[in-house]
Copies of this chain bind each other. A is one copy, B any other.
Amino acid sequence: MLKASDIAQHNTRESCWVIIQGQVYDVTDFLEEHPGGSSIILRYGGKDATEEYLPVHPPGTIEKELPPDKHLGELDPQSVGGVAVTKSKPEAATTSIPLDLCLCLDDFEKAAKAVLSKRAWTYYSSASENLHSFRLNRQDWERILFRPRVLRNVQRVNMQRKLLGHHSNLPLFIAPAALARLGHPDGELCLSRGASAYNIPFVVSNAASVSMEDLAESMQGAKGRGCLCLQLYVKKKKSETLASIVRAKQLGFTALLVTVDTPVVGKREDDDRYKAEQALETQGPRPPPPVTAEGIQQSLQRSSTDEVFVLRGPYSSTLDWNELAWIREAWGDDESFGLKGIATAEDAHLACESGIKRIYLSNHGGRQLDSAPSALRTLLEIRNLCPHVLQQCEVLVDGGVSRATDIIKALCLGARGVGLGRPFLYALSAHGTAGVCKAIQILSDELETSMRLLGVVDLDHLGPHLVNTRELDPFILPPGPALHPRQSRI
């Protein structure tokens, strides 16, 4: 039994203890190992970090990461009066939109906004800098019109598609989105249950807040329908990356998607602002940066070198086409391997030439480089510059999708499947697993109705003749000489 007042002394880089769910841990040696950086831990040095820790870590994480002797014992509950415990601030409202009134995916966004804590809402909804790419994602879908055909027998509609190596009931999948436990205590389990129930793929984020093991188990409990795939962030430490791959293989994940657009984390300003406001409130103003040349040059030199703390985020910034080789090898199966985050025809072409079979077009929900094109624009660019990619690879897209009509448009233009991320996070935040299921059901109903109204009964009959892309065409690079591998490397 440790006293709060004693624990409170250990709040420095030299000696840092934290309380999590009533247990006290010495995390001093772990500070530099923490994938999320040391500063977030130091903020809770000597204090109770439960609220911060819980929603972003799979259960058991700390037990797994720390040697047993770093578990110092239990907090004496009597002693708490004397410690500055971070209090739970129930900022979230408690009235959401009832499930019965969630009739489209955007309703879940409103429902979630009403119940989420500011922190969770900010993390989920934020995007980089001016939100330019974020807005493009939503707007571009509406810039495409349909060319609906009439007088066709549309009684029976086939919405099944082989996707991510799986015979899916619908041409869509749950896109990787992290930290679902910020929105609901069951976290990603809501997603795996929904994917299983509706038999669609769920691409698990490498930064999920539920362990891959628990997700795999929840799928098997559902008798094996649906499938799990892994979205992989390549970490600075090769060993961590390899460990993720091995676990996914062992758990029977059916596909691996390596994220290639995140050498550093984008500047998600709302999120940064939330953190800055919290820091200002809890720690007071920081000293202004040095204004002597020496001080600043020092900091600039740091930032052009390799040190962890100036590169945004814990991910590898050295990953290139050569380095990719060992990851493919570690996974060991090219058919179920893919790249996520392709944004240009050149890179799509290069990937195709490199034998990659699955290409996931995405601007990361507008969360990475602001002014990156929407996946839809990249898809149109590929149609213009290297259309063979659409024949040779399974092309997936995501970003700003909120209607089955968006999905149909992507499929008409050659995408094999369409991912949705935020909508499912909002659905689980508002209504847990039932929310996720309702969201999939809505998409299924919309898809069936829209296919009938378009005069099409099978996904394989969708094609460019059913859409009018003339509003977007002027913004897309026009067809030119075929791309060659060498050209596209530069």
Residues of A with Cβ closer than 8 Å to B? 98-101, 103-104, 129-130, 132, 142, 144-159, 169, 193-194, 196-199, 222-223, 225-226, 260-261, 263-264, 266-267, 269, 272-273, 276-277, 279-280, 285-286, 288-293, 295-297, 299-300, 303-306, 311-312, 317-321, 323-324, 339, 341-344, 346-347, 368-373, 377, 403, 405, 409, 431, 433-434, 437-438, 441, 444-446, 448-450, 452-454, 465, 468, 470-471, 474-477, 490
Contact = CB atoms under 8 A, between A and B. Distances in A.
B372 A291 contact: no
A450 B129 CA distance: 11
A199 B297 CA distance: 9
25 contacts: A98-B280, A98-B285, A100-B286, A101-B280, A104-B129, A147-B343, A149-B347, A151-B347, A153-B320, A154-B264, A155-B318, A196-B293, A198-B296, A264-B449, A266-B449, A266-B453, A267-B445, A299-B441, A303-B445, A304-B448, A312-B449, A369-B454, A370-B405, A465-B490, A470-B476
Nearest to A409: B371
A290 B193 CA distance: 11
Nearest to A341: B150
Nearest to A446: B267
A53 B277 CA distance: 39
Nearest to A347: B150
Given A371-B145, A441-B289, A476-B470, A152 B453 contact: no
B403 A130 contact: yes
A452 B261 contact: no
Nearest to A442: B267
B197 A291 contact: yes
Contact of A321 (B100, B151, B321, B445): B151
A403 B129 contact: yes
Contacts of A370: 403, 405, 450
A409 B279 CA distance: 33
Contacts of A369: 146, 148, 405, 450, 453-454
A151 B147 CA distance: 38
Contact of A142 (B154, B226, B371): B371
Q: For A147, A341, A373, A476, which residue has the most chain B Cβ atoms within 10 angstroms?
A: A147
Given A146-B372, A150-B260, A371-B405, 20 more contacts: A99-B288, A104-B129, A145-B373, A145-B475, A150-B341, A151-B347, A153-B323, A154-B317, A155-B311, A196-B293, A225-B297, A263-B452, A266-B453, A288-B431, A288-B438, A289-B438, A291-B433, A296-B437, A368-B453, A470-B476
Contacts of A158: 304
A48 B293 CA distance: 41
* 10 nearest CB pairs, A to B: A369-B453, A288-B434, A150-B260, A197-B296, A153-B318, A225-B293, A153-B320, A147-B344, A155-B317, A146-B371
A300 B474 contact: no
Given A304-B156, A444-B300, A148 B344 contact: yes
A101 B148 contact: no
A99 B342 CA distance: 37
Given A263-B453, A292-B222, A475-B470, A156 B438 contact: no
A269 B199 contact: no
Given A154-B317, A344-B148, A449 B276 contact: no
Q: For A280, A321, A323, A449, which residue has the most chain B Cβ atoms within 10 angstroms?
A: A449
Given A101-B280, A103-B269, A279-B100, A150 B450 contact: no
A260 B151 contact: yes
Contacts of A296: 197-198, 437, 441
